[in-house]
């Protein structure tokens, strides 16, 4: 059994599910618990849900609260990691929520908080597809789109901790409305939510698509990565068109940030990458290389899929906690 001070709980607050891992000092997962994310709930109610899934993960691992050093959370939106406050999370409707303080009061364990995509990138940098690089860029596709930057082996937060919000880079000025209130953001063009919106619009206009039927048959209220995968396996023409459009804009997005930051590697992550793998990443890479400023040696920048899958955020949160608290 690992020493008490080395046992940590990592939590990923995904748009679809809350995922909690108990992890030992060798980054081995001792237990995994998840529950649907009730995004419509008030912050206090959702924090109670987080507390419940943390407690369940600890119990499943055969541990007591006192044996866990800390809970580390990857939370969506703009986060103040020093105070553990979620300043703004549009997809949750959160503003200035003291997540660390409120969760600590529930679980009686120290709590640290960082942006969910930041910790996902920290995880891939330390344990996954970004291992061995010192200049790394992450693009994570889920309910929304988030990004992160590793520079000189450290997370780059910018002047206020908000660096990496590449999902809200505007790619199409008069494009679809984004949850942030602007039009044409990458998130409004290529996220899983954008894909669902475009499939529904096509069906409403008279096109035939199996995607919504698959959702209904599986009892899904959202277009998950598994639904997208199933529709593509059926060679659904609407889903194929929607995914190709999303891949194109993700390629433009990747090119823009590579031209700005000149990383060694770009990691494309999120559940959709875990489901579709290289079939999803390859078109993004091709488009990005076409729009690189330095096209003559474009492949010097490797664009790869993440390898940690849905566990990237929770594992990265554990790595972040070790960095913050010290081993």
- The pLDDT of residue 46 is 94
Separation of alpha carbons 284 and 214, rounded Å: 26
- pLDDT, tens digit only, all 327 positions of the chain: 455 558 999 999 987 789 999 999 999 999 999 998 887 889 999 999 999 999 999 999 999 999 999 999 999 888 888 899 998 887 788 999 999 999 999 999 999 999 999 999 999 999 999 999 999 999 999 888 999 999 999 999 888 777 888 999 999 999 999 988 999 999 999 999 999 999 999 999 999 999 999 999 999 888 999 999 999 999 999 999 999 999 999 999 999 999 999 999 999 998 899 999 999 999 999 999 999 999 888 889 999 999 998 899 999 999 999 988 876
- The pLDDT of residue 161 is 73
CATH level 2 (architecture), domain 132-307: 2-Layer Sandwich (3.30)
**Residues 6 or more apart from 100 whose CB is under 8 A from it?**
73, 83, 84, 85, 111, 112, 113
**Residues 6 or more apart from 18 whose CB is under 8 A from it?**
11, 12, 34, 35, 36, 37, 49, 50, 53
**Strand pairing class (70-75; 111-115):** parallel
Q: Which two tokens stand for residue 169?
A: 């880079």
Separation of alpha carbons 103 and 179, rounded Å: 26
- The pLDDT of residue 17 is 84
For 299, which DSSP code? G
| Cβ-contact 2, 25 below 8 angstroms | yes
Task: Enumerate the CATH 3.30.420.40 domain ranges in the chain, comma separated.
Answer: 4-120+311-325, 132-307
| Cβ-contact 36, 17 below 8 angstroms | yes
Q: Is the pTM of this model over 0.95?
A: no
Burial degree of 221 (CB within 10 A; 0-12, 13-18, 19+): exposed
- The pLDDT of residue 4 is 54
Angle at 274 between CA 272 and CA 278, to 5 degrees: 90
- The pLDDT of residue 92 is 84
| Cβ-contact 289, 112 below 8 angstroms | no
4-120+311-325 is classed CATH 3.30.70.890: no
Separation of alpha carbons 173 and 185, rounded Å: 8
Separation of alpha carbons 136 and 124, rounded Å: 10
């Amino acid at each position: 059994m690992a020493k008490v001070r080395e046992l940590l709980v990592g939590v990923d607050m995904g748009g679809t599910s809350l995922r909690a891992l108990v992890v030992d000092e060798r980054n081995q997962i001792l237990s995994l618990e998840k529950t649907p994310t009730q995004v419509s709930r008030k912050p206090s109610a959702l924090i109670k849900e987080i507390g419940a899934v943390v407690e369940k993960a600890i119990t499943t691992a055969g541990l007591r609260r006192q044996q866990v050093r800390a809970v580390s959370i990857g939370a969506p939106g703009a986060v103040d990691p020093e105070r553990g406050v979620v300043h703004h999370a549009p997809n949750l409707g959160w503003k200035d929520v003291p997540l660390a303080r409120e969760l600590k009061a529930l679980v009686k364990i120290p709590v640290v908080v960082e942006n969910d995509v930041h910790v996902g990138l920290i995880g891939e940098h330390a344990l996954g597809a970004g291992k061995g690089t010192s200049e790394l860029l992450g693009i994570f596709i889920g309910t929304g789109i988030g990004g992160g930057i590793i520079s000189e082996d450290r997370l780059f937060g910018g002047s206020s901790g908000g660096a990496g919000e590449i999902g809200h880079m505007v790619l199409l000025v008069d494009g679809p409305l984004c949850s942030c209130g602007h039009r044409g953001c990458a998130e409004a063009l290529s996220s899983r939510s954008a894909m669902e919106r475009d499939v529904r619009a096509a069906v409403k206009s008279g096109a035939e698509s199996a995607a919504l039927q698959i959702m209904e048959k599986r009892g899904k209220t959202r277009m998950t990565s598994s639904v997208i995968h199933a529709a593509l396996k059926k060679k659904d023409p609407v889903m194929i068109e929607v995914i190709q459009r999303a891949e194109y804009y993700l390629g433009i997005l990747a090119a823009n940030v590579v031209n700005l930051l000149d990383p060694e590697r770009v990691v494309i992550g999120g559940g959709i990458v875990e489901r579709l793998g290289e079939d999803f990443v390859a078109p993004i890479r091709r488009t990005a290389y076409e729009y690189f400023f330095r096209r003559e040696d474009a492949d010097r920048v490797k664009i790869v899929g993440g390898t940690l899958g849905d566990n990237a955020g929770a594992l990265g949160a554990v790595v972040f906690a070790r960095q913050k608290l010290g081993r």
